[in-house]
């Protein structure tokens, strides 16, 4: 059973901050299919369309019939543990700093045999053999600190503290005992996020609020929580962003950028560019200002002890995938933010910082008050973000609308564009 994680001691300021050593991350193009699925929380392997053979490792042709018709399909990961071993020595710098490290050999029910990282709660095969019951495990795919997929063997029934496993925390960005910045605490989503983070065990939650002269309901209740500290933050004010980064940038472990402006206009519905500029100033340039100031600080603390800097979360929109004409300028600003966040992900990856993009459908807030249901409740969105941090994924599409849009967009983006343009 995994022991509950204890609050880590305060860092000794005399000691130098370690630099991040990443695990081996070279992958062939074919193997990146496992990574693409793991980025959304799925475990997929190639399956031959002709003979149904499941392939591992990934390959160009089927190992059984040499067919090239291989498709990635989600797997249950159920299998039997054949053997385990524990590394006590490694020439790789990343693993040398984290020894001992447990590995196992698992035979999947689907056919292949895999070498996987082992969760600490999986029992040894010898103990299971003595009980005349084979050790059953469930293999899942997770992203490591280099952003590449690795396979992990989990127990079929874990304890309530299984997320505190030392190896598993290396693969995830669990907010427990970490310090988080939420950029906008005035919205329903922001306030739900703060409560969800506090419930998840966050040590400190800094909550940004712009235009403090505007009184917003719920902010006083948040400030009463012992973990919460309100900070002035207007993403249109570059100087304010710089000052805040200088004040807390060296302490933040997770940045959640949920600030946004949302107007329901297309091109011809409103003259001028004022509304579109306001959306771009927050949704795109706000992210850029935040990344320029807080990005280097997070990268410098990626290996700073057990609760070092670990993740950056961007609240985008499923409208970023394909423009929704009734919300045309908003869609365009989120598409620009998506492109920028992909650049941010590439720049943060060498430091082991995970960039998580969130693509919700319509949220049940003031911006979407005239949009008919179904709409995503702020609390549901907040819980999905916390779950993404705990699971170590990169892209999430919470809600039924977002899932439907994603499916249609992947099937044929041109058809989706035509459907959205119909009156």
Would you state the pLDDT for residue 130? 57
pLDDT at 74: 96
- Give the C-alpha separation, 413 to 323, whole Å: 11
Distance CA 23, CA 142 (A): 13
Average pLDDT rounded to a whole number, residues 260-285: 91
pLDDT reported for residue 266: 87
Helix, strand, coil fractions of the chain, as percent rounded to 5: 35, 20, 45
Higher pLDDT, 265 or 82: 82
What is the pLDDT, as a whole number, of residue 343?
Answer: 97
Instruction: Output the pLDDT for position 157.
Output: 85
Q: How confident is the model at residue 360 (pLDDT cuts 50, 70, 90)?
A: very high
pLDDT score, position 414: 95
- φ, ψ of residue 190 in degrees (nearest 5): -60, -45
- What's the whole-number average pLDDT of the chain? 91
Q: Please, where in the chain does CATH 3.40.50.720 lie? A: 179-421
Helix (H, G, I), strand (E, B) or coil at 106: strand
3-state DSSP call for residue 27? Answer: coil
Confidence band for 419, pLDDT divided at 50, 70 and 90: very high
Q: For residues 34 and 31, what is the distance between their CA atoms, to the nearest angstrom?
A: 6
Q: What's the predicted TM-score (pTM) here?
A: 0.92
Please check the confidence at residue 126 and state whether its pLDDT lies above 70.
no
96 CB-side CA count, 13 A: 6
Q: Give the pLDDT of residue 3.
A: 65
Q: What is the pLDDT of residue 163?
A: 84
Which residues are bridge partners to 308 per DSSP?
Answer: none
The architecture that CATH gives domain 179-421 is 3-Layer(aba) Sandwich (3.40)
pLDDT at position 220:
84
DSSP track, 180-225 = EEES--SSHHHHHHHHHHHHTT-SEEEEEES-TTS--TTHHHHHTS
Band of the pLDDT at 94, cuts 50, 70, 90? confident
Q: Using a pLDDT cut of 90, give the percent of the chain over it.
A: 72
Q: Which two tokens stand for residue 292?
A: 């320029």
């Amino acid at each position: 059973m995994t022991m509950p994680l204890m609050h880590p001691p305060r860092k000794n300021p005399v000691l130098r901050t370690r630099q991040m050593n990443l695990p081996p991350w070279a992958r062939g193009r074919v193997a990146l299919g496992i990574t693409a699925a793991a980025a959304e929380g799925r475990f997929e392997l190639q399956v031959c369309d002709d003979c149904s053979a499941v392939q591992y490792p990934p390959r160009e042709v089927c190992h059984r019939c040499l067919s090239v018709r291989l498709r990635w399909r989600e797997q249950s990961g159920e299998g039997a543990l054949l053997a385990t071993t524990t590394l006590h020595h490694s020439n790789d710098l990343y693993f040398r700093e984290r020894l001992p490290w447990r590995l196992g050999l698992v035979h999947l029910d689907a056919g292949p045999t895999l070498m996987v990282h082992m969760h600490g709660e999986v029992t040894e095969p010898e103990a299971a053999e003595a009980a005349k019951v084979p050790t059953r495990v469930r293999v899942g795919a997770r992203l490591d600190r280099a952003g590449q997929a690795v396979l992990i063997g989990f127990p079929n029934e874990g304890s309530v503290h299984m997320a505190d496993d030392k190896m598993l925390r290396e693969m995830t960005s669990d907010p427990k005992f970490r310090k988080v910045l939420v950029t906008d605490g005035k919205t329903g989503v922001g306030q739900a996020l703060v409560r969800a983070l506090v419930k998840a065990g966050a040590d400190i939650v800094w909550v940004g609020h712009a235009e403090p002269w505007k009184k917003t309901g719920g902010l006083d209740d948040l400030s009463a929580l012992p973990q919460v500290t309100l900070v002035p933050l207007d993403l249109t004010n570059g100087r304010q962003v710089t000052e805040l980064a200088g004040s807390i940038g060296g302490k933040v472990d997770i940045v959640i950028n949920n600030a946004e402006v949302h107007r329901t206009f297309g091109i011809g519905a409103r003259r001028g560019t004022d509304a579109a500029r306001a959306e771009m100033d927050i949704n795109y340039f706000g992210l850029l200002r935040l990344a320029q100031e807080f990005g280097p600080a997070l990268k410098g603390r990626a290996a700073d002890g057990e609760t070092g800097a670990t993740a950056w979360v961007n609240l985008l929109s499923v409208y970023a995938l394909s423009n929704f004409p009734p919300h045309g300028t908003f869609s365009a600003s989120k598409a620009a933010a998506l492109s920028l966040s992909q650049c941010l992900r590439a720049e943060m990856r060498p430091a082991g910082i995970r960039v998580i993009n969130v693509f919700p459908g319509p949220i049940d807030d003031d911006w979407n008050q005239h949009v008919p249901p179904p709409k995503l409740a702020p609390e549901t969105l907040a819980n999905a973000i916390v779950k993404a941090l705990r699971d170590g994924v990169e892209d999430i599409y919470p809600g039924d609308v977002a899932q439907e849009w994603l499916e249609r967009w992947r099937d044929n983006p041109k058809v989706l564009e035509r459907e959205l343009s119909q009156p």
